[in-house]
């Protein structure tokens, strides 16, 4: 949290806009988010996984599960 507290407001606003509100931002998606997410799976063998109760670092919170899924995926490409 300290990084946010010392980051100037205009920098936070620019990052937020770039990630969330700009026309091509990561956070801007069609009304049907599932359709958009499915369109990002362009690599053969890729699939979407929903892991409930995890934060931004699922690879640290559930490393064994992450490794298993990556190995499964790597075996399909």
Same domain, 63 and 36: no
Number of domains, the chain: 2
**Whole-number pLDDT of residue 48:** 76
**Whole-number pLDDT of residue 44:** 73
Same domain, 32 and 4: yes
Spatial separation of the C-alpha atoms in residues 26 and 77, rounded to whole Å: 26
Nearest CA to 62 out of 71, 51, 72 is that of: 51
Domain extent, residue 7, equals: 1-40
pLDDT in tens, the chain (77 residues): 455 567 788 887 787 777 777 776 666 555 566 676 677 777 777 777 888 888 888 899 999 999 999 898 888 77
């Amino acid at each position: 949290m300290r990084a946010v507290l010392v980051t100037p407001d205009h920098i936070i606003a620019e990052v937020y806009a770039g990630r969330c509100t700009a026309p091509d931002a990561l956070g801007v998606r069609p009304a049907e988010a599932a359709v958009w997410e499915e369109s990002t799976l362009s690599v053969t063998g890729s699939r979407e996984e929903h892991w409930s109760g995890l934060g931004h670092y699922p690879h640290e919170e559930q490393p064994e599960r992450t490794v298993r899924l990556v190995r499964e995926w790597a075996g399909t490409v």
